[in-house]
Structures are given as structure tokens and as C-alpha cells.
Amino acid sequence: MILTQIRERLEEAENKNLNKFAAKSSESKGRAVKEEKCPIRTDFQRDRDRILHSKAFRRLKHKTQVFLSPMDDHYRTRMTHTLEVSQIARTIAKGLNLNEDLTEAIALGHDLGHTPFGHCGESVLNKLMPDGFLHNKQSVRVATVLENINLTYETLDGILNHSGDLFSTSIPKASTLEGQIVKVADKIAYINHDIDDAVRAGVMDIEDLPKESKEYFRSKNQQRIATLIMDVIENSYGINDIKMSSEALYHFNNYRRWMFENIYLDSPAKMEEGKARHVIAALFEFYLDMLKSKFKNSPEEILKRIICDYIAGMTDRYAITMYEEYFVPKPTSAAFSDLYLFKMAELNGLK
């Protein structure tokens, strides 16, 4: 009885103290599979913990952000990116008196389905899959099928809708303000930390950034982030929307355009991407031949779905290891170690 009162007290505090536009855990649309309530945690706190303890989350530490399989420990990985998104999103949520627990859950889960080798890995799978591939949809698939951690509707909705251009009217947005915050925080995080990593890698200098926007933000990473966080809070306070001032959005997009033109699409940081694309494409075809020989009567579409799930879950180093296993000559043969591929087959209904 005492333990149950803890969750009820937390829910009561949310209902009493949070912004009227905040998502309240006691008003959640629930989970696909109904469960007994946790006696001491709200539903959104429970989502956060399930994501944090998932296998997919742990693998993020060895997945690329921008620089492929970096040896320098100070470059961002997909996990450190996720943690920075969470910090930024929680700061905004707290400033707007919204639900910090839901915001954190969405932020921690937003990249669960991301591929190895960053967005270049995503683009390869997008071409190979009949219906394409998007990491936000794969993140939902990880949570609902591959690990089946039974998250709430609100968390899954925020994860699904975190991608795309900021404030675009043509792209669906999260149904909660907390989910909309994570979308903004994701963009703030990656532009700023990618500038930091690119300077560290020597592929750009801070002085290379557009002058007018550099003067607006000032040069240091923490100053850029703080400026954007405070702008979002100031322009979203007390309204049922997450917004940024036209001035801040202009300078943010100015940096974003510059990064795409000079770093993301054409820079020494991207020189290894051709090799990474080849690794993923070669593994995909190899596994497709393997599954066709084992499951002769199964539709190719299902086999590709299995392989996509498997490869998308790989870390950079695991993908490289498996490529070396199958395509690089060795003095002695190694035992087949891709049993998890067949686990994916079981999850997709093949026996």
C-alpha cells in the first residue's frame, strides 16, 4: 500500500504542478499490452527505464554519429549524441514546466533503430528495402517487435515523429509537446556537436562558419546551445506549441546548410563512407543468399525484412567483423557466428 502511494503521489504532483499543456502520465493512452501499474514509477518513468536497459540502447555506444568508428574517445557516438539530446530536451521541458520524464524517455529512445555507419548506413538500407528504410520507424520497430518492451503510446509517438525539418508544416509532428521538444533538441545537439567534432578532426575551423551567424551565436559550443535553448523556452512559454524565433531559426538553418555543404556531404570526414556502404550492401546480399537457401519457400520481402532488422542493429565494429568473416581470406576457417540472424527470422515468424 505504501509503495502504490508513491506512484499516485507522483501522478498527483504532475496533475497539480505541470503546465496545462503537458502530457500527464495518469492520462496516458496506455500500452499495446495492458499491464499492472508500477507501484513507485509513473508510466513515463517506466518507459525511460525500459529503454535505458534495452540491448539496442547499449549498442548505441559503438554506432557512428558522423565520424566512422572513431579511435579518439572524444568523438561523439550515437550514444553520446542520445545523451546530449536528452540533456537539451530535459532542460527545455523543465523550463516550460512540461513532463520531463516523458521527454527523457523519447530522447533516450529516438535512435534505437539507427544503423551502423550513421546516415550513410541508413541510406544503403533505404535503397535495398522494398518499402525503404527510416531509422525513426525502425526505432519504433525495435521497441514494439524486436525487443517488445511495450512502451506507452506517447513515447512511441515521440520517437516516430522526431525526424524531419524543424517546424515543417508538411511533416507530421509529435502529438505531445514533449515529443516536439525532442525533435528540436535532436537538431540542436547534432549541429553543435558535429561542429565541435569537425574542428577536433581538423576538417574545419570555427572561423569557417558563416560570419553573421557566428556573431549571433558566439563561438563556443555551450554558448550556441544555451542561446538556442533559451530562445525555444522564451518563444514556447505558455502556449500549446514548441517554437523558435525567426532570428534564431534563420541562424540555426544557416549553420545547418553550411554543415551539409561542407562537412556532411563533402569533407574528409566522409571519405570512408564508400567503404561503409560497400560493407552493408555486401552483407545484405550475402545474408539474402543464405536465407534463400534455408527458407526456400519464404517470400523475399520477409527475408529482406529479417536481414534489415539484423544489419540495422549492428554496431560499426560488428558489421566490419562480419564483413571480414565472410569476405576477407583467413588462414583457417572460423565457426559460423551469425546465430542472431536466425533469431530475427523467428521474430518474423519463420521456423
Nearest to 208 by CA among 242, 259, 142, 166: 259
pTM here? Answer: 0.93
- Of the candidates 214, 216, 209, 212, the residue with the CA atom closest to the CA atom of residue 244: 216
Question: Is 303 found in the same domain as 156?
Answer: no
Picking from 211, 242, 270, the residue at the C-terminal end of a domain is 270
pLDDT in the model for residue 341 = 84
User: Which residues lie closer than 8 Å to 221 by C-beta, 6 or more apart?
Assistant: 192, 193, 195, 196
**Structural domain that includes position 64:** 2-23+42-270
Q: Does 113 fall in a domain?
A: yes
Rg (CA), the chain: 22
The full length of the chain comes to: 351
**pLDDT digits 0-9 by tens, 241-288:** 999 999 999 999 999 999 999 988 766 667 788 999 999 999 999 999
73-103: buried (b, 16+ CB within 10 Å) or exposed (e) per residue?
A: eebbbbbbbbebbbbbbbbbbebbebbbbbb
Q: Looking at the structure, do residues 166 and 245 belong to the same domain, yes or no? A: yes
Reference 48, options 90, 1, 94; nearest CA is 90
- The Cα 11–Cα 90 span in angstroms is 18
**Same-domain check for residues 190 and 302:** no
Overall domain count for the chain: 2
Is residue 255, in this structure, part of any structural domain at all?
Answer: yes
Cα torsion 313, 317, 318, 324 to 10°: value is 140
- What's the pLDDT at 136? 97
Same domain, residue pair 174 and 185: yes
Is residue 35 one of the residues assigned to a domain?
no
State the residue for C-alpha cell 503537458.
22
What pLDDT is attached to residue 348? Answer: 87
Which residues neighbour 89 within 8 Å (Cβ) at sequence distance 6 or greater? 103, 104, 106, 107, 178, 181, 182, 184, 185
Query: Quick one: pLDDT band at residue 164, thresholds 50, 70, 90?
Result: confident
Q: How many CA atoms lie within 13 A of 56 on its CB side?
A: 29
Q: How confident is the model at residue 294 (pLDDT cuts 50, 70, 90)?
A: very high
| Domain edge (last residue) among 217, 241, 270 | 270
Neighbours of 299 (CB within 10 A): 9
From 37, 50, 49, select the one nearest 3 (Cα to Cα): 37
Distance (Å, whole) CA 337 – CA 25: 43
Q: What is the pLDDT of residues 196-251, one digit of tens each?
A: 999 988 889 999 999 999 889 876 777 899 999 999 999 999 999 999 999 999 99
Task: Kindly report the average pLDDT of the chain as a whole number.
Answer: 92
Residue 213: strand pairing partners: none
pLDDT band at 65 (very low <50, low <70, confident <90, very high): confident
Same domain, 233 and 264: yes
